[in-house]
Amino acid sequence: MKIGKMAARLTGAIATTSIVTGLVTTFGTASTGTAISSLSGVAATKATLAALGGGSLAAGGFGVAGGTVVLGAIAWGGAIVGRRIYQKFER
């Protein structure tokens, strides 16, 4: 049963972070005004994290560090939701 609980948490965390980063990448813009969807590699990753952090440091947001914290909180929330769903169907 412990493996099932861990798998549910992991699945929830992966699902929520994937959905959120996908939405930000699709609809977000970098601090330069460029659509994040047109960027690739490290530039896209950093722009996505900065967007999650409320914008770049220069624009008054929390930048990549803030985005990393937000994404971690989203993953944590997804893990809780995954665990709750597992508990509901466990019986």
Average confidence (pLDDT) over 68-88: 96
Distance (Å, rounded) from C-alpha 61 to C-alpha 55? 4
What predicted TM-score, i.e. pTM, was given to this entire model? 0.88
pLDDT at 91 over 80: no
Distance (Å, rounded) from C-alpha 27 to C-alpha 47? 12
pLDDT at 86 over 70: yes
Q: Which tokens hold the place of 29?
A: 């813009």
Range of the domain at 37: 2-90
> What's the domain count of the chain?
1
Task: Let me know the angle formed at the C-alpha of 73 by 70 and 79, rounded to the nearest 5 degrees.
Answer: 145
